[in-house]
Structure 1
Amino acid sequence: MRLQGAVVLVTGANRGIGAEFVARLRERGAAKVYAAARDVRTVQAADGVHPIELDVTDPRQVEDAARAAGDVQVLVNNAGISTGTALVTGDEAAIRREMDTNFYGPLLTTRAFAPVLRANGGGAVLNVVSALSWFTAPGSGAYAASKAAAWMLTDSTRLELAAQGTHVVGVHMGLVDTDMARGLQAPKIAPSVLVGAALDAVESGAQEVLADDWARFVKAGLPLDPEQRYDRLFSALGAR
């Protein structure tokens, strides 16, 4: 679908990748961008940008947002967190917080906005996932588990929403040069490159975006058995 003239809602729109989505959507001629954030005071005001309060872990706020933004044609599920929590020894509350934000968040918003998208012609859902949906590393167990769930959410909702004409896109990448990756010494993709590739997929009808070399490398190793796959991954991580 064409983004020029479209109405789009972006979650986690106050900084990082979310703020980049808002900026690039305006460049592509979106008629209206709902910039959703838990604190709307952190959203940068601009023409065509409509701040909207939304904590994706709060079912009532999600339903309120769907009622308030009944003209949405594209939903961008971008909001996410990373706590650096291990699954076996890490704090259970932190693990649940990551699942609530990274999996249940986009699930709740997709469920709430699916009827809105249907009423507005089908539209699209774009999920910002991660290459960590396909592998894990020490200290990233909770995040990887939540993103693996988000990957399957993307596949499942693509099938479930096909009948109403809703296009569902999953975006996978390695590190992005944002606050979340600050302090990590490894190659990072620019937010503008990631967002550009994601929006191209919405307009072209592509279902999956491998936004950088790392995402392509990780996915290419999925057919290997776990030992081979992780030998390959950790060798590459050591080289990086």
Structure 2
Amino acid sequence: MKISGSVALVTGTNRGIGRQFALALLERGASRVYATARNPSLIDIPGVEALRLDITDPASIAEAAARAQDVDLLINNAGITTHQNLVTGDLEKIRLEMETHYFGTLGVVRAFAPVLAANGGGAIVNVLSVLSWLSFDGANAYSAAKAAEWSLTNGIRLELAGQGTLVTGVHLAATDTDMMAGWDVPKNDPADVVRAALDGIEADQLEVLVDTDSIQTKAALAADPAILYPQTVGAGS
């Protein structure tokens, strides 16, 4: 997959990582970049084609796919966080996390898979998270939804291999975006995240681990869960 000359569509481009994706794609020579958001008037990037796309609205997805029939690179970036736990959290907000990260991403993939096939296969990038592999008290709804999106990524990779579509999952820890504005922790630069992701696509990587936290967390999945969740040791005894 080559960025130069590609036609890309990025979801959630009005801010943060999505905005950086659109900028970097233009810098790397993409011939067209569809920059999408629920409110396209918020997109302020010269040189892109702004489209309305609400990934939780099937009609909006269908309209965007009908407009962007030349896409060969789909970047699923749009997401939310509602800061909900699973046992005591607001169930509607928990459902919204799953509707966005899992069903929303799946809806976009289903709409654009035939477009990618018609244009030679291309690539899909799903922006995931270190929390795909790690639950975090206070954001367990987000972790569950991102874990589901990780599984989705693996599944569509198998299903779309026959049409020549590369499917790349990008995992990252805390990154300096509006979503993380209230957290006083070390954060990735969004430009570094996007650079790693686009380099990974061009290297045909199935998975991009952006930072040390993501690398270490994935490695820890093979160990005893007590290593990832030491605060649970002794519970119930």
Equivalent residue for 1:106?
105
Alpha-carbon distance between aligned partners in 2 of 1:131 and 1:229, rounded to the nearest angstrom: 12
| 8 A Cα contact 2:226 2:232, kept in partner | no
Deviations 1:172-223 (A, max 9, x none): 0100011111121111110011000000111110000110011011111000
Alpha-carbon distance between aligned partners in 1 of 2:193 and 2:37, rounded to the nearest angstrom: 20
Alpha-carbon distance between aligned partners in 2 of 1:112 and 1:163, rounded to the nearest angstrom: 17
Alpha-carbon distance between aligned partners in 2 of 1:13 and 1:104, rounded to the nearest angstrom: 19
Equivalent residue for 2:12?
12
Equivalent residue for 1:34?
34
Equivalent residue for 2:181?
182
Q: Is residue 165 of structure 1 aligned with residue 179 of structure 2?
A: no
By how many angstroms is 1:231 displaced? 2.4
Alpha-carbon distance between aligned partners in 2 of 1:228 and 1:119, rounded to the nearest angstrom: 46
Q: 1:202 to 1:233 in 2, by over 3 A?
A: farther
By how many angstroms is 1:230 displaced? 1.6
TM-score by length of 1: 0.95
Equivalent residue for 1:238?
none
Total equivalences in the alignment: 233
Q: 1:17 to 1:37 in 2, by over 3 A?
A: same
Amino acid of the residue matched to residue 228 of structure 1?
Answer: I
Amino acid of the residue matched to residue 29 of structure 1?
Answer: G
By how many angstroms is 1:91 displaced? 0.4
Equivalent residue for 1:120?
119
Alpha-carbon distance between aligned partners in 2 of 1:6 and 1:126, rounded to the nearest angstrom: 14
Amino acid of the residue matched to residue 51 of structure 2?
Answer: I
By how many angstroms is 1:233 displaced? 11
Amino acid of the residue matched to residue 54 of structure 1?
Answer: L
> 1:52-131 to 2 correspondence within 5 Å?
52-131=51-130
Amino acid of the residue matched to residue 7 of structure 1?
Answer: V
Post-superposition, which runs of at least 4 consecutive aligned residues in structure 1 deviate over 2 A? 231-234
> 1:148-159 to 2 correspondence within 5 Å?
148-159=147-158
By how many angstroms is 1:45 displaced? 3.8
Amino acid of the residue matched to residue 81 of structure 2?
Answer: S
| 8 A Cα contact 2:23 2:45, kept in partner | no
Alpha-carbon distance between aligned partners in 2 of 1:30 and 1:43, rounded to the nearest angstrom: 18
| 8 A Cα contact 1:218 1:233, kept in partner | no
| Structure 2 spans left out of the alignment, 5+ residues | none
Alpha-carbon distance between aligned partners in 2 of 1:233 and 1:124, rounded to the nearest angstrom: 40
Deviations 1:44-76 (A, max 9, x none): 1412x0000000000011011111100000000
Alpha-carbon distance between aligned partners in 1 of 2:134 and 2:221, rounded to the nearest angstrom: 9
By how many angstroms is 1:228 displaced? 2.6
